[in-house]
Each structure stands twice: as structure tokens, then as C-alpha cells.
Amino acid sequence: MKDIGIGLLGLGVVGSGVAGVLLNKTDKLAEQAGIPLVLKKVLVRDVNKQRLDCFASLAMTDRAEEVITNPEVDIVIEVIGGEHPALEYIKQAITTGKHVVTANKEVIAKYGYELLSLAQKYNVGLRYEASVGSGIPLISPFQQDLAANDISAIYAILNGTTNYILTQMSQEGLDFPLALRQAQELGYAEANPVNDIEGIDAAYKLAILSSLAFHTAVNPKNIYCEGISRLQAKDFKYAKEFGYAIKLLAIAKRDGEAIELRVHPVFIPEDSQLAKVNGVYNAVQVEGNLAGKLVFYGQGAGALPASSAIIADVLTIARNISYRISNAPKIQLNQKLTVKPISDIKIRYYFRLNVLDRPGVLAQISKVLGDNSVSISSVIQKESDLKSQTAVLVIMTHPAEEKAVQKALEEIKQLTVVNEVSNFIRVEG
Ligand code: NAP
Ligand code: HSE
């Protein structure tokens, strides 16, 4: 072979970063791979769209087969995103005998096992380091460096857009829509930002990581998922008063033959490492029986961090081709574990209630909690409105079962002295 041909599907935020590295770092990449890497063809949706001047020399097409079945292409990089047609393109590339590198967490979370099996059958590589944590090395460490460990837990900030939004809301007092717009302008958000805001993007990433950590095929549909849209400025204020930060965490915990899998906003102690992860940064805290506690930290979104992971995957495949080592993936998903329903978890809770400000109200609320075996750790009456004779009540509980808490909240909503259960947030640590 005189070179390794690269076909690029997508020239958006990430594709532009990847193309830039392939065009500007040719000597360094050839040295690393042991053979030149040449970008042969690029798929875009609209060939007439204005592109950066530096891409004027690129051979672009809007016909996928000109890239995927191109005889000059050895490695297909998929960065168009979304489920379809990305899934079909990846399958077509594998069955045509091309190695594939993708940043697509949705496709890998939903179809990873199927695609890895297909790649094994066709003896080609399928690598996806950029799909979780972007530039933070996570897939390789889980597959290789932590292989001797029994992993007991993962606590992770896996979505740069929401972490950026929460940081802006907490530190700058920005409203949610403005913070989201900024994240979109900076290229962090998905084409459909609902996936970021509602925790779906983080759930896809947690499915990928927990499959690797627990050697079991995790279906993202089995991950309990809540987003950040119901958080309000008041919650950040009260969290601070109690010594907590609010983060959107992706959590996986092993408990015997069961695993807890959940993505939701959570109070975490403000002096914890994850509480100090701000802006677009991601962090993944892993607990292994041999390595102990590890924290992986870095930029979880943006063109260059994603390119770093994608080019590393390309180099691994290219080196294996150079040295005639098989790129076929090894699949180790042989553990049969059940996913614990959210109703069975036991954790502390924060409630914010709007209630009538009169004698006996607290007694009625604490009776409902007590009757449901939910024990109160502290109660603070935050604000009273003399005119409407209402008050804001903030309650922190001791660890309690989720199903008991949900039942108690339903009963509290029915009390005539309660105007509103304004929010409830789980508390970790
Ligand atoms: P993007 O900016 O929306 O770019 C998508 C690119 O794919 C565009 O060039 C678009 O063409 C092309 N495309 C989309 N649908 C197509 C279709 N049906 N046929 C042909 N071309 C199509 O997306 P992105 O932010 O780069 O994200 C790409 C992938 O990387 C996603 O899976 C994402 O989850 C993942 N990722 C993103 C980041 C990040 O920070 N953005 C980080 C890590 C991983 P046009 O240019 O003609 O519109
Ligand atoms: N939209 C994703 C995020 C991009 O904000 O984390 C990286 O996967």
C-alpha cells in the first residue's frame, strides 16, 4: 500500500476539525501511522454550502456511495451524527470491508453490539473513542487499562452543553435560554439540543461506558433519564446555602447482579471533584477494586477535542494495517446483569415547596413523610410573602426509598395547605 485512504462522512463542527488535522498534519500523521494518510473524499448534505477556504481543494460529494464504496478509501470516518442514515452508512462501510471510526454515541449506544459483531465478521475495525467525553480517553482505558478491575461505580459529567449551561446559570446568573444559545454558538450542542438538555445524550454515553465497565450490553432505554429544564435559579441558591452544587450526573453502580443506571440533576457536595468541573468540561469518576478511585477530566465537546480522539482511532487502525495486525474488535459482553428500577434506589432528597404560612402546616407535611418512612434531616422556611400568606419551605431528607418519596410527594400535593411542590432533586454524597 502506498497510502491509507480516508473517507469522511460529514464536514460540520467535528468533520471540519478532523479534515483540518488530516490536511495540516500530514507528515506527523504519516510518521505516527508508518504510512501516509490521505483524505480522498468528503460527504456533505449540501455541496453548494459556503465552506472554509482551506477546504477548497477537498473532493466533496452529496452521494454517500462515492465515499463508502470508493476503492481508494480504507477507513470511513462517520461524523454526520443522528441515527439515520448514519447507521446504514456504517453498516454499508463495514460490509464493503472498510474500517470505521465514528463519534456517534446514539448509534453506538443503540446498535453497538450488532455493529461490533458485524465488524468482527468482516474482520474490520470499528472504533468510537470520540463518542464519549470527546477528547478524553475513556473507551481505550475501559477496554484495556482497567481490564483487571471489577468496576463498582461510575459518576460522570458527560454532557458539555448542559454542564456549560448549569455553570452559566450558577456563576453568571444567566437564564436558561441565553446559556443554551451560547452553547449552540460555541458548537457544543447537538443538532437537536433536546438530546443534550433532557439528558438523552448523557444516557447514550452512559450506556456505552457501563457496557464496557460491567461487560454487559446496556440498552439506553433502560437508563432512567431526567434533564435540566426544570431547574430554577432558586434551586442553585438553596443548594449553595446547604453546601452543594447542582450537576447533571450520569451514574452507574453495581450492586451484586444488578446495576443502577440513571441520569438526572443532583446535589453534590461543593468541595467534591465533580462539583468543580465547570463549563464545557466533562469528568468521569470510576471506582475499581484495584485502581481505586480515578477521575478522567477534559473538554467534552468542540471540534478539536473530538478530532483528537478520532485521529487517534484512525492512527490505531492505520498502524494495525501497516503491521498486519487484525483490527477486528474483541467483544466482551458476557455478563447477565439486571437493571434496578429507579423506584428501588435509596438516596437523600431535597424538596422545595410553596405552602400556606400558618401554624400546623409543617406538622401535616412531616406526618405524610413520617407515614411513608421518609425521615427529615433539615427543614428551612426560606421566604414568606405577607400579602399572600405563603412561604417557601426547603426540606432535606435522610436516605429514603424513591418509591416511598414519590408516594409521599403525591400525598403532599393533595394537602390543602400546599400550593405547589416546586421541585425535588436527589442528593449524592
Ligand atoms: P454537525 O455540525 O451538525 O455536522 C454534520 C455534518 O454532516 C454536516 O457537514 C452535514 O452536511 C453532514 N450531514 C448531516 N446529515 C447528512 C446526510 N443525511 N447526508 C450527508 N451529509 C449529512 O454535527 P457535529 O457537531 O459535527 O457532530 C457530528 C457527530 O459527532 C455527532 O454524532 C455528534 O454527536 C458527535 N460529536 C460531536 C461533538 C461536538 O462537540 N459537536 C463532540 C463529540 C462528538 P452539511 O455541512 O452540508 O450540512
Ligand atoms: N452535545 C455534546 C455535548 C457533544 O454537549 O457534550 C459531545 O458529545
Residue-level pLDDT at 277: 98
Structural domains of the chain ordered from first start: 4-134+303-322 (3.40.50.720), 139-299 (3.30.360.10), 345-427 (3.30.70.260)
| Ligand 1 site, residue 12, Cβ cutoff 6 A | yes
pTM of the model: 0.97
SS (H, E, C) 335-352: CCCEECCHHHCEEEEEEE
Q: What is the mean pLDDT of residues 45-51?
A: 96
Classified as helix, coil or strand, 104 is coil
Confidence of residue 233 (pLDDT cuts 50, 70, 90): confident
Residues 6+ apart with CB under 8 A from 144: none
Pocket test for ligand 2, best of 158, 161, 168, 186 (most atoms within 8 A of CB): 161
DSSP state of 83: S
65: pLDDT strictly greater than 90: yes
| Ligand 2 site, residue 201, Cβ cutoff 6 A | yes
Confidence of residue 188 (pLDDT cuts 50, 70, 90): confident
DSSP state of 216: S
Q: Whose CA is nearest to atom 8 of ligand 2?
A: 301
Residue-level pLDDT at 175: 83
Q: Whose CA is nearest to atom 12 of ligand 1?
A: 10
Active-site residue identified among 41, 98, 105, 205: 205
Distance 155 CA to ligand 1 centre (A): 28
How far apart CA 188 and CA 306 sit, in angstroms, is 11
Side-chain half-sphere of 134: how many Cα atoms within 13 Å? 29
Confidence of residue 187 (pLDDT cuts 50, 70, 90): confident
Residue-level pLDDT at 345: 96
- Cell numbers 454515553 correspond to what residue? 205
191: pLDDT strictly greater than 90: no
Percent residues over pLDDT 90 in the chain: 91
Angle between helices 160-171 and 176-185 (to 10 degrees): 130
Pocket test for ligand 1, best of 16, 78, 80 (most atoms within 8 A of CB): 80
Confidence of residue 404 (pLDDT cuts 50, 70, 90): very high
* Cβ 94 vs Cβ 87: under 8 Å: no
How far apart CA 391 and CA 376 sit, in angstroms, is 18
Q: Cite the beta strand spans of 158-311 per DSSP E.
A: 224-225, 244-255, 258-269, 281-288, 292-299
pLDDT in tens, 289-346: 999 999 999 999 889 999 999 999 999 999 999 999 999 999 988 889 999 999 999 9
Confidence of residue 155 (pLDDT cuts 50, 70, 90): very high
* Cβ 93 vs Cβ 118: under 8 Å: no
Instruction: Quickly count: other Cβ atoms within 10 Å of residue 362's Cβ.
Output: 16
Residue-level pLDDT at 394: 96
Residue-level pLDDT at 413: 98
Residue-level pLDDT at 384: 86
211: pLDDT strictly greater than 90: yes
| Ligand 2 site, residue 189, Cβ cutoff 6 A | yes
* Cβ 127 vs Cβ 313: under 8 Å: yes
pLDDT in tens, 88-134: 999 999 999 999 999 999 999 999 999 999 999 999 999 999 999 99
How far apart CA 158 and CA 283 sit, in angstroms, is 7
pLDDT in tens, 368-384: 999 999 999 999 998 78
Classified as helix, coil or strand, 94 is helix
Residue-level pLDDT at 174: 86
199: pLDDT strictly greater than 90: yes
192: pLDDT strictly greater than 90: no
- The closest ligand to the CA of 300 turns out to be 2
429: pLDDT strictly greater than 90: no
How far apart CA 89 and CA 62 sit, in angstroms, is 13
Q: Tell me whether residue 205 is one of the annotated catalytic residues.
A: yes
| Ligand 2 site, residue 161, Cβ cutoff 6 A | yes
Mean pLDDT of the chain: 96
